[in-house]
Amino acid sequence: MIIVWVLVIIVVVLVLYVVGIFNVLVRLKNRTQEAWSDIDVQLKRRYDLIPNLIKTVKGYAAHEREVFEKVTETRANAISAKGVEDQQKAENMLTDALKSLFAVAENYPDLKASTNFLELQRELTDTEDKIEAARRFYNANVRDLNIKIESFPSNIIASIFSYKRMSLFEIEESQVEKAKEAPEVNL
């Protein structure tokens, strides 16, 4: 009779352990999805700002048509991107296109002094900062989920319930290297 009780207690403890790990995996997955939603909100805000920015710059630099078309095209690609990897590639391309747009704006002193342009530039910079913060939050949650999925013994339970590793949302290596470079100052 004691052996039966010991076996029942062992089974109950194992079931509770599996339930506990499963609940942790569910919580981490939901946090990661919430974090991706935060990124998505900020990206949509960015997409909404871009047409206004283009209209403002177009008024001053109408002959820079190629730049406007590239920004519009990369914005459309970013909006339609599916999945973390595709979104990551599209966002890197859009960031490069926006850099080109701001480079064009540097050639027009009247545009740089325009309150509309300055406000749009400030809002876009603020949005970029929010995207970066949301990306860090998302990546931290993905890291925690991936660690749990790969760690023993939770990896056994994760594989039973078909949990898969998630991808980080990272910026391109070339952009990281550019950011690390010291700016050139000409006086």
For position 103, which CATH number holds? 1.20.1440.20
> pTM higher than 0.85 for the full model?
no
Give the type of residue at 38: D
Look at residue 27 and tell me if it is in a domain: yes
**Quick one: pLDDT at residue 176?**
39
How many structural domains is the chain composed of?
1
Task: Between 38 and 183, name the one with better pLDDT.
Answer: 38
| Cβ atoms of residues 50 and 77 within 8 Å | no
Looking at residue 62, its pLDDT comes to 67
Residue type at 62 in one-letter notation: A
The average confidence (pLDDT) of the chain is 84
From the list 145, 151, 167, 169, the residue with the least C-alpha distance to 40 is: 169
- Is 67 inside a domain boundary? yes
pLDDT in tens, 3-52: 999 999 999 999 999 999 999 999 999 999 999 999 999 999 989 988 88
| Residue 149 within any structural domain of the chain | yes
